[in-house]
Amino acid sequence: MRSFCALILGMQGIRRRLLFRYCLSGAVLLPFSVSGVAQQAPPVESPMPAAVPPEFAEARKLMQQGDADKAIAKLQAVEARNPTTKGLDQELGTAYYKKNDFPQAIAYLKKAVAEDPANDEAIQLLGLSYYRGGHPADAIPLLEKVQGWYPRANADAAYVLGICYIQTKDYPQARKAFGKMFDVPPDSAASYLFTAQMLLRQEFDPVAEEYAQKAATLDPKLPLAHYLLGELYIYKSRIPEAIVEFQKELAINPAHAATYYKLADAYSRIQKYEDAQHSLQRSIWLDQTATGPFILMGKVLEKKGELDLAVIALKRAATMDPNNPMTHQLLGQAYREMGKKEEAEGELKLAGQLQSKQNP
């Protein structure tokens, strides 16, 4: 540091004064040697991206534009001229994967992996093709090798691997996979909860219930464990049990708007409309961005005969999401009960049109 300051003394003008001030304040953090000469860091060589042949680049561009058929035609022309073109099998396999033609994708990607067993992207795409083609057992060993993410796959291989374990009923391995995804120990309450959520999504209800109960047992104060059980019991029409679980969730997690909404849903199913309205109001106070509570509020108020208030809630939902047919259906019913025939017909007609668009 002293040698560096000595060098500064030989400078002139503003530059000298500024550098000298930094020197005295101890702010000079540059890597100087004992002699005061700056040590040069070795240059860092940036890896050069691999050159993509023009034929492949054009096919990739077509795939990005959503035209897999044209991309495949381009690649097939290359195949006709030179079937041994390096990387061609992977490009064709990727194109067929994008087209959702998984048997063809598998055929080409198997050749790509045989050509280069260290090609992680081809291995991952082959595993995903097996999964999406309905062969999770074949996908597992491939996805176990490569759990990263490649942009052209349009899927997270780690997540798909966990789903494959579920589909092959290897639940402990699924729990390990999801635990790894979320950086939690495989035997933790959180890992059981994550797996329970995935199991419920895949409609493995009995195991989902078992895992959610295990999560709540391992950590009685774990947020969302009782919420998930409540959702499961609503799905199974076990309404009293659902209400108990939602109440337990609120005791742990009293500011969770979705729990109030689901609790209101449970109350409405057993015609406890006052309790439902009370829970919905709390849900809306906590989160005014979700349309579900406004729609359910309109339905509950309509059941209570408070039609003017029901219309206000449903109009708010329609403003937030104008393409939801359920909102317009309920508005039409409310208007009809109010004797507003024209408004009712307009809303019911719109509900039918939106429903037709969603289910052509």
Residue 35 above 50 pLDDT?
Answer: no
Whole-angstrom distance, CA of residue 107 vs CA of residue 122:
12
pLDDT for the residue numbered 211: 98
What is the pLDDT at residue 52? 65
Q: Would you state the pLDDT for residue 166?
A: 97
The residue among 345 and 59 whose pLDDT is bigger is 345
pTM of the model as a whole? 0.76
pLDDT tens digits for range 66-100: 888 999 998 999 899 988 899 999 999 999 999 99
SS (H, E, C) the chain: CHHHHHHHHCCCHHHHHHHHHHHHHCCCCCCECCCCCECCCCCCCCCCCCCCCHHHHHHHHHHHCCCHHHHHHHHHHHHHHCCCCCCHHHHHHHHHHHCCCHHHHHHHHHHHHHHCCCCHHHHHHHHHHHHHCCCHHHHHHHHHHCCCCCHHHCCCHHHHHHHHHHHCCCHHHHHHHHHHHCCCCCCCHHHHHHHHHHHHHCCCHHHHHHHHHHHHHHCCCCCCHHHHHHHHHHHCCCHHHHHHHHHHHHHHCCCCHHHHHHHHHHHHHCCCHHHHHHHHHHHHHHCCCCHHHHHHHHHHHHHHCCHHHHHHHHHHHHHHCCCCHHHHHHHHHHHHHCCCHHHHHHHHHHHHHHHHHHCC
- pLDDT tens for 225-247 read 999 999 999 999 999 999 999 99
pLDDT score at 47: 40
Per-residue confidence (pLDDT) for residue 4, from 0 to 100: 42
Instruction: Say what the pLDDT of residue 41 is.
Output: 38
Q: Average model confidence (pLDDT) for the chain?
A: 86
Instruction: Band the pLDDT of 359: cuts 50, 70, 90.
Output: confident
Q: Is residue 348 predicted with pLDDT exceeding 50?
A: yes
pLDDT at 153: 63
For a pLDDT cut of 70, what percent of the chain falls above it?
A: 83
Q: Looking at residue 99, what is its pLDDT?
A: 94
- In this predicted structure, what is the pLDDT of residue 247? 98
Comparing 60-69, 227-236, 349-358, the range with the smallest average pLDDT is 60-69
Lowest-pLDDT range of 80-89, 197-206, 320-329: 80-89
Cβ contacts of residue 40 below 8 Å, gap of 6+?
none
Whole-number pLDDT of residue 149: 64
